Structure 1
Amino acid sequence: MAKKWHQRMKNWMTKTLEVPPDVTMDLPRITMIGQLHIYIENHKGLLTFTDQEIRLLLKQGQLLIKGHHFVIKTILPEEIMLEGHIESVIFIES
């Protein structure tokens, strides 16, 4: 019951107070610059990294990024910047 109330409160804050959903609902924020750079905020950890694939844990599921020549430019506990040729970004629901 408390979890439903908590979710309703988050939804109300997002709509009424115009707070960005990534802040109140713990969603990832993804910023891409063409197919060359991708910046992901609010992930829960790095699961896999190769020069052709990166997989990040999200609060609900995973994020899979495929391409080639990947290099991690920045990595922090909840932020990552990836450089390379990005071919696809896929959400995998758990």
Structure 2
Amino acid sequence: MKDKHLRRVKAELSEWFELPEEIMLDLPHIEILGNDRIHIENHRGIIEYTQTCVRVNTNAGVIRITGSELNVRNIGSEEIIVLGSIEAIEYQK
């Protein structure tokens, strides 16, 4: 219950100060460009990386990207870029 209250307070502060919720709530920000490029910001690292599956850890759960010829083009402390033929993106808790 304490976590829900804190999350609600952070969401209200985010709205009040017009700050992005993903920053205040430590949530991932995902941008998908077509079916061949995905940017994930605010991550906690890569859990699995193959040509058919990339799993990225976040505070909201694990983001699983499946497809073919997947390639992690860039990985930094703030952003991961995955290229390839993306077939599905899903959250796993």
User: Fold-level match, TM-score > 0.5?
Assistant: yes
On the 8 A contact 1:45/1:78 being kept in 2, the answer is no
TM-score (norm 1): 0.87
Unaligned runs of 5+ in 1: none
Q: Which residue pairs with 1:21 in the alignment?
A: 21
The structure 1 segments of at least 4 consecutive aligned residues displaced by more than 4 Å after TM superposition are 1-5
Q: Which residue pairs with 2:31 in the alignment?
A: 31
Shift of 1:5: 5.2
On the 8 A contact 2:28/2:60 being kept in 1, the answer is no
Q: Which is further off, 8-17 or 76-85?
A: 8-17
Q: Which residue pairs with 1:46 in the alignment?
A: 46
- What is the alpha-carbon root mean square deviation over aligned residues? 1.7
Structure 2 CA distance, aligned partners of 1:81 and 1:24? Answer: 22
Q: Secondary structure at the match of 1:43?
A: coil
Structure 2 CA distance, aligned partners of 1:32 and 1:3? Answer: 30
Corresponding residue pairs, total: 93
Structure 2 CA distance, aligned partners of 1:8 and 1:83? Answer: 35
Unaligned runs of 5+ in 2: none
Structure 1 CA distance, aligned partners of 2:55 and 2:36? Answer: 17
TM-score (norm 2): 0.88
